[in-house]
Structure formats: C-alpha cells, structure tokens
Amino acid sequence: MKLTTTQSVLTELLETAKNGISTRPVDPILGSLLIEASDEGRLTVIGTDLNVSIKTTAITNIIQAGVVALNAKLLTDTVNNLGSGELDIEVSERTCVISHSTGKCRIVGRNPEDFPSIPETENPTEISIPSKKLQAALEACLYCSSTDETKLILTGVHFHLQGENWSCASTDGHRLALVSSKLEGNYSPISFTVPRRSLTELGKILSTTAENSSCTLKVGNNTIQFILPNAELTSRLLEGEFPQINHLIPKSFANELMVERKGMEIILKRISHFAEKKHKIVKILWEVNDQQATLMTGNTDIGDAVDSLLIKTQNSIGENIGIGLNSGYLQEALKHISTDEVIFRFNKPLQPVIISPLGGLLDQLTLIMPVEVQDFDKPEGLAKYKTDTSKPENENETGAEGVDQLPEREKVSNETTNVTDTPPSDTPTANKSKSRKRKQELKPEPKLETAAV
C-alpha cells in the first residue's frame, strides 16, 4: 500500500473511527484500526468493538492499493503530533512508514485478516432522516436513558415509525424524554431500540455534518446502519420489549405555565447547592395569581435559599400549587431545551410534570415524577431575601453537581435533615435555630410504572 494525503485529512479520519474502539479491548486486534486504500482513490479507516463499528472515508491520492491494521492509540498519537502538510504512507509486510517534512515514523501492524468484518444488514428497511433533526432528537433523548446494565433495554433509545410520523423515547424509570416529528415518505410500522453508546458516537459524527445533509438508516433484525456522506456507523440493536410510555403522559392539563428558561436555570444553580445533598430536592410554589414561581430549598446546617421569577399563565385553575422536584433532573431537562421559553404542564402535586420547549425544531417533552412535600410555607424571615423576578446579569455562577445516580423517593417537609448527620443533643444550644433541629421524613422516590409494549 502506498499513498499521499494531508495530516489534517488523516487526523479527521482517525479521530472519528477510533470512537468505535473499546477503551479496554478484549483482543489486541480490537485495539487496532483497519486502514484500506482502494484503486478508486478512496482511503477508508474502520474501528470496532464488535457491538458498534465506525467507518470513515476520504478521497486521496492512492498510488498502490492495500490494507493494514495498526494500533489505534499509537497511530492517532503519532499523526496528531506531526506538523501540518503532506504525508507519504507506505506499507510493506505489515509495517507502515509515515514520512513527513522533517522525518519519518515506523509502526508495526497486525494481520489485517484477523480484523473482524462489519456485519451486513440483511433485507433492511431504509429510512431517511435529516441529519440535524436526528442530532436534535438524540440530544433531547439520550440523557434520560438508563446506565443500569441490569435493565438493558432501558440503556437505549427507542425509535418508532409509522406512516409519516417518527418518534424516539428514553426512560430510566424515574423520568422520560419523548421527541416526535414528521418525515417525507410513508413507512410501514417499525420499532427498534439502539444502545446509548452507539447513539452517543453517532451524535459526534452528526455534529460535523452539513446542515442540509440526510442520514439513511438501514434497519435489520439485529443490526442498524447509519449512513452519512463520509461516515457509516453500524450497531447491534437491543433485544426485548421497550416499556409502553405513552399512557404515562396525561392527555390534558389543569395548569400550563410558561417561564424563561435561562432565568430558571440560573436560579437553580444559585439555590440547588443549598439543597439536602442526597436527594437534591427543590420546592417550587407556583403563585398563579401573583404571576411568579418561588423556588425554595429546605433548611440545613449549611443554610437555605429562596428565589423567584416571573411566569406567564396559558391555562390554570387559578390556585397556588406546590411541587417538589429533583433539582438535578430539572436542570438536565432545561439544559437539553434550546428555546428561550419553556412550558410546565401538570395537574396535581404528585402527578407527572411535563416540561416542553415553546417552539423548536421538534415536538419535545420531558416527564419528571414529583416528590411528595408536606408543606410549601415560605421560610420564616422571608423579608431578608431579595426575590429577583428579572433575569440576573451574571450568568456564570457556579451550581450544584449533576445527578449521576437515581435517588430514592423522599417525602420532604419544610425542614430538611442536617447534612452533617450530627446526633441530636438533649440540651439545645443558644446558637441553634429551631429549623436546624428539625428532621425531614423520607419515602422512596416514585418510579414510572411502565408496561411492556
């Protein structure tokens, strides 16, 4: 094999294909990239971990066709540290020599015949989706998928197509995300679930594609191919029945309240680190008549916080209503909405809360299960707090840590547990307020009761 290419072209190919390789390959050949040069002038790089495979291609100057398998880390580190400009690559007896403007490097490869072949999708159903719509759908869904490998079907995103309608959904048992839109064409009903890791890598590829490009999906019984102009990703599909989630979403709502997304995000960053550390609960009092939402955290040994912002009423029963939510879930939901304004839809305090963008490229919603809170009385001495109903000038304040694991449900009173877990004293000291001696009652967090399809 002999060819000439540029450092930038080769770097882009390698960086994309290496995402298909496991960080801890079970076989040395799976830690390699397969490099193929064809007589048609096409340079192809393939990386795989057997569950997901990524193939990237580029047109370059091929002098002699051939194939070689090279260690992925060594090759990418080598090429990344070469200066920009042309590279001459020559392979002889599994040894690759890369010549550049000031020197050369030699990499000993492995037998390319040992490299696993990419599975072919037999009798596939072909679907075409605009690349940017697919990218937006993945960004709106992936974060709600589960990381619990014991619930394998929940670690993916479920696609459903019928007629001109398509949707994708994910859930971890406590929250769910659903995105839907329309396509050109008329498709027979088809459903499939794609692993989270495969779609995470696909999202990286989609972010580099042109605005007007399309992604072709070839769906088989066990595999799916995502075909883009300069890259292909092949993935296995998850087996099993994805939960039936449509019945969890209410058909009508007693309350529809609109808030400014960035303003609520900033308030959550401001107050959520005062919340009790384990369950991260923020209490929201929707004061409909006053057209504002008051966000509060319970009293702990480190302090407490209360803040507010303006709301607009689209539909409401006209009564104040309090809802307790996991602040991490709420922050993630807002983070994955791109519009300036969002709508909160809900009925009763312990029924699902639906968060949707106002406008946007797709029909999108996130469902979060509330947490039972005993009361929503504003903290004593509220006058010392300045409730800011305008957008803060400083948007770079640090916030609470993200939620990595699902908490247990809790029943939260207006007083929260001391975060230091100090045993209560029989004799109260003068410098302790009543709120610092009170305890909160906890219950398990509710789970979405999803039925199999």
Q: Are residues 206 and 353 in the same domain?
A: no
Last residue of a domain, one of 195, 218, 247: 247
**CATH code, 233:** 3.10.150.10
Sort 260 into a burial class: Cβ within 10 Å, 0-12 / 13-18 / 19+. Answer: middle
Q: Are residues 219 and 364 in the same domain?
A: no
Last residue of a domain, one of 91, 114, 137: 114
Q: Are 208 and 136 in contact (CB under 8 A)?
A: no
DSSP state of 83: P
Question: Residue 333 has which token pair?
Answer: 């939901």
Phi, psi of 100 (to 5 degrees): -130, -170
Mean pLDDT of 385-410: 37
Q: Are residues 52 and 196 in the same domain?
A: no
Q: Are 208 and 130 in contact (CB under 8 A)?
A: no
Instruction: Provide the domain count of the chain.
Output: 3
Largest CA-CA distance found in the chain, in angstroms, rounded: 87
Q: Are residues 407 and 300 in the same domain?
A: yes
The percent helix, strand, coil of the chain (3-state, each to 5) is: 20, 40, 40
Contacts of 368 (CB under 8 A, 6+ apart): 174, 175, 325, 326, 329, 330, 333, 352, 353, 355
Contacts of 453 (CB under 8 A, 6+ apart): 191, 241, 242, 243, 244
316-350 tens-digit pLDDT? 777 889 999 999 999 999 999 999 999 999 999 89
Phi, psi of 163 (to 5 degrees): 65, -125
112-160 tens-digit pLDDT? 999 999 888 788 999 999 999 999 999 999 999 999 988 999 999 999 9
Q: Residue 172: pLDDT above 80? A: yes
CA 413 to chain centre: 32
Q: Are 438 and 299 in contact (CB under 8 A)?
A: yes
Q: Residue 286: pLDDT above 70? A: yes
450 is a domain residue: no
Q: Are residues 261 and 375 in the same domain?
A: yes
Q: Are 260 and 341 in contact (CB under 8 A)?
A: yes
420-440 tens-digit pLDDT? 333 344 444 444 444 443 444
> Which residue in 319, 322, 262 sits closest to 298, CA to CA?
322
> In 10 A of CB 308, how many CB atoms?
22
Predicted TM-score (pTM) of this structure: 0.81
Last residue of a domain, one of 247, 276, 308: 247
174-226 tens-digit pLDDT? 899 999 999 988 889 999 999 999 999 999 999 999 888 999 999 998 999 99
Q: Are residues 53 and 107 in the same domain?
A: yes
Q: Are residues 296 and 430 in the same domain?
A: yes
352 is a domain residue: yes
13 is a domain residue: yes
Q: Are residues 306 and 403 in the same domain?
A: yes
The range of the structural domain enclosing residue 135 comes to: 125-247
